[in-house]
Amino acid sequence: MDQLLNKLATRQPDESPVAALAALAAQLRPDDAGDLVQATSNLRALTYLLTRHSEQRAALRNALLDLLAQSRQVQLYTDTGLLSNETFFQAIKRRIGERLLPPARSNAHLADQFGVIFCGKEDYRWVGAVEPAVWQELWQALAWHEETLAAANPTRLQLLEAVQVLTARITAIGLEPELVRVYPDIERFESPFLHLSAEALHFVESARAAMSEPTLQAEDDKQMLVLLDQCEQLIGRLRKVALECGVSVSLTYHLQRLTQHIERLRTVLRLLDQDISPAQDGALFHLLAELVRAENRKFSVRDVFTSNTELLARQVTEHAGRHGEHYIAENRSEWKDMARAAMGAGLIVGFMALFKLLLAKLHLPLIWEALAFGLNYSLGFMLIHVLHFTVATKQPAMTAARIAAVIHQANGKPQLNELAELVAKVLRTQLVAILGNVLVAIPVAWLIAASWKAITGSPVIDIEKASHLLHDQHPFDSLALLYAAIAGVYLFLAGLIAGYYDNKAIYRQIPQRLAALPWLNRLLGERRTRRLAHYVEHNLGGLAGNFYFGLFLGITGTVGFLLGLPLDIRHITFSSAYLSYAAVSYDYLVPLNMALWAIAGVVLIGMTNLLVSFTLALWVALRARKLKGTDALPLLPAVLKLAVCRPMDFLIPPADKAGH
C-alpha cells in the first residue's frame, strides 16, 4: 500500500490515475468480501499512512481530484443504481444481453471509470458493511482543507447539473399516464411534480450565480425538500390506492423509479449543502456504498425482478389472504359447513376419476390425450368452485397468506398465542376438509365402479391397470412422493394465479367493462349482465386458478414422457378414489401387503401435497411483506404448547355459544 501511494506521488500530470486507484482498491479489498474485520483494518492502515505522510496524502487527494476533473460525472449521479426509462421487460432483456456481451467502457465518463476501480464482484459487501466512522476517519486524513475551493468547483457544477436531470425525470415519471389513471388527482395544477422542476431551475441558477460572484447569496434547498416530501406523500397514496384498485408490473416499475430518483436527489442536495460536511452527514459514504453495489450488480436480472414485482406479489398474496379467510372455520357451524363443502367436492372427484380412467382407455394421440386430461381436471375443479364446494388441497396456498398477513400486521412480532390459535383453526379446518373429500370420494368411486361392473359385466379398468394404479400409490417403490410434491407446487401456483386474476379484474376494471358491453346487455338484459359482472368480479381469480391447476395436472405426465423425465402428479383425493376402482377390478381380493402400502401412500401423498403448497405459499407471502422465514419460527413452540394444553382445538372447534 505504501508503494502504491509513492507511485501516485510520482505520477505524471497527464497520466490517468484510474489504474493506480484500482490497484489501491485491490489492496483495500479483503480476501473474503464478507470479512468486515479485515476491510476495516485495511482502511485504517491507509488512514494511518495518509496521516503520517503529507506527500502521499496530497498524491491521493490530487489523483481523486484529477479523476473528477477529467471525466463527466453527471451519469454516475443520475444513472448508476437507478432504473432507466425502459419498461420492466426491456430492463430484463438488456441485463441479460449485457451479461453475455458487456458494454464497452468510456474513459470520458466517471461511471465507467468507477467500475474499473471497484471491479470486484462483491466489493459492495465490504464497502457497505464498514462503519461510517471508519470512512469518516479516512476522509479527514485526506485533509481536504489543504485544497483551494476552486478545486471543488467542477464537481459542484456537475452536481448541480445532476439536480436538473433528476428533477426532470421525477416530473416526467410522476405524470406517467398509468399513474394518472390510477390516481387522477396527481396531475392537478397543485401537483408537486409540476412545481419541482421550476424550483430546481431556480435553485441551480442561484447556486451557479453565487459560484461566479461570491458576493451573491445562493438560495437554500428547503423549498425543494418540501416538494420532495409532498412527492413522497403522493407516492404513498398511490401505493394505497393500488392495493385497493389493483397493480401491474408496469405501475410497480414506475413507483420504484420515482422512489429511487427522489432518494438520489435528496443525497445530491445534501452533498451540495455547504453548511453540512459530507463526511459528518454520512451522505457521501451512503452514496458510495449505493454506487458500488449498483456497479457490482448492474447485470443482475434477479435484482430487477425482485424489486419490481414486490408490489404485485403483495397484491396477489393479499387477494389469496382474503380468500384464505373463507377457508378458516372460526366456530363449529362454519366447521360443519366446510365439511359439507368438502363432501360435495369428493362426490364430483369420484366422477372426475372415472372420466380420467375412461379417457386413458381411448389411447388418444399424446397431445390430445394431455388436453383431454387437462380439461377433465379443469372443468371439474371449476364446477366445484361454481357449486361452492371445496378441494382440501387448495386451502394451504390461501391460508398461508392469511397467516403471513397476521405476522405482518404486528410488524413481524405478533401475539404468539393468538397466532397459534389461528394455526389450530387452520389445521382443524384442513383436517375436516380432507376427511370430507376422501371419505366421500372413496364410496362414490366404489359405487360408480360397482354399478359399472353390474351393468356392463366388466370393471371400469382391467386387473393389469388396477395393479398399476395400486403400485403408483406405493410411497417407496414408486415416485409417488415426488409426484405429490409436483402437485403441491401446482397447488401453490394455482393460488398465485387466482390472486393475479383477482388483481387483474380490479386493475383492468373488467367487471365494469363487462357491464357496459352493449351486445351483452342486449343478449342477457341489463340486470343479468350486472349480475354476471358482479360474479366475475368476485370469482374470476378462483375460476382461473382452478382452470390452470387442472391443465397443469393433465399435461404433466405427457410432458414428462416427451422429455424422458420422471414427471407426473399425485393428488390425495384422486389417489383415494383410484383405490376403490382398483378394489372392484380385483373383486376385493387385493393382496393385503399391496393394499396397506397403497393406503399408506395415499396418506403420505396428502401430507406432501399440503406441506409443499403451504411452505411455498407462506414463503412468498412473507417475502411479499418484506418478512423473513425466521419471523415465523417463534410460532412453532407456541403451536406445540397449544397442542399439549388443548389438543382438541386442532381437531374440532368449541361448541357455538348460545345465540350464535
Q: Which residue range forms the structural domain that includes residue 637? A: 314-387+397-650
Q: What's the number of domains the chain is made of?
A: 2
Regarding whether 420 and 321 lie in a shared domain, the answer is yes
**Single residue among 276, 293, 308 that ends a domain in this structure:** 308
DSSP-assigned beta bridge partners for residue 109: 72
Regarding whether 533 and 445 lie in a shared domain, the answer is yes
Identify the residue whose cell numbers are 405427457. 558
Dihedral, 493, 497, 499, 500 alpha carbons, nearest 10: 130
In this prediction the pTM is 0.75
Whole-number Å distance between alpha carbons of 240 and 97: 35
Does the pLDDT at position 228 exceed 90?
A: yes
Regarding whether 363 and 271 lie in a shared domain, the answer is no
Closest Cα partner for 397 from 621, 149, 243? Answer: 621
Inside any domain, residue 536: yes
Inside any domain, residue 659: no
Mean pLDDT of 88-101: 85
Regarding whether 322 and 300 lie in a shared domain, the answer is no
Mean pLDDT of 229-239: 89
Residues 6 or more apart whose Cβ sits within 8 Å of residue 578:
353, 445, 469, 472, 473
**Single residue among 278, 308, 338 that ends a domain in this structure:** 308
Inside any domain, residue 282: yes
Regarding whether 323 and 304 lie in a shared domain, the answer is no
Regarding whether 270 and 373 lie in a shared domain, the answer is no
Mean pLDDT of 418-433: 80
- Joined grid coordinates for residue 83: 432504473
Residues 6 or more apart whose Cβ sits within 8 Å of residue 71:
107, 108, 109, 110, 113
Contact 50, 138 (CB under 8 A): yes
Give the confidence band of 659 by pLDDT, cuts at 50, 70, 90: very low
For the segment 292-302, what is each residue's pLDDT rounded down to a tens digit?
A: 999 888 888 87
| DSSP assignments along 608-645, one per residue | HHHHHHHHHHHHHHHHHTT--GGGGTTHHHHHHHHHHH
Regarding whether 210 and 318 lie in a shared domain, the answer is no
For the segment 29-81, what is each residue's pLDDT rounded down to a tens digit?
A: 988 877 889 999 989 999 988 888 888 888 888 888 888 888 899 999 999 98
Inside any domain, residue 255: yes
What pLDDT was estimated at residue 277?
65
| Helices 132-141 & 36-52 angle (0-180, nearest 10) | 20
What pLDDT was estimated at residue 200?
92
Contact 116, 18 (CB under 8 A): yes
The larger pLDDT score, comparing residue 594 to residue 33, is at: 594
Does the pLDDT at position 464 exceed 90?
A: yes
- Joined grid coordinates for residue 429: 379446518
Inside any domain, residue 657: no
Regarding whether 555 and 495 lie in a shared domain, the answer is yes
Does the pLDDT at position 274 exceed 80?
A: no
Q: 109: helix, coil or strand?
A: strand
**Single residue among 308, 329, 345 that ends a domain in this structure:** 308
Closest Cα partner for 176 from 190, 187, 165, 160? Answer: 187
For the segment 169-208, what is each residue's pLDDT rounded down to a tens digit?
A: 999 998 888 888 877 777 665 778 888 988 999 999 998 8
Does the pLDDT at position 158 exceed 70?
A: yes
Inside any domain, residue 264: yes
Mean pLDDT of 587-594: 91
CA angle at 545 for the pair 541 and 549, rounded to the nearest 5°: 175
Regarding whether 116 and 44 lie in a shared domain, the answer is yes
Whole-number Å distance between alpha carbons of 70 and 155: 11
Percent of the chain with pLDDT over 90: 37
Inside any domain, residue 658: no
- Joined grid coordinates for residue 622: 412473507
Regarding whether 330 and 198 lie in a shared domain, the answer is no
Regarding whether 303 and 381 lie in a shared domain, the answer is no
Regarding whether 489 and 586 lie in a shared domain, the answer is yes
Inside any domain, residue 97: yes
For the segment 501-559, what is each residue's pLDDT rounded down to a tens digit?
A: 888 888 888 999 999 999 999 999 999 999 999 999 888 988 998 999 999 999 999 99
Does the pLDDT at position 660 exceed 50?
A: no
The number of angstroms, rounded, from the C-alpha of 88 to the middle of its chain's C-alpha atoms is 14
What pLDDT was estimated at residue 626?
67
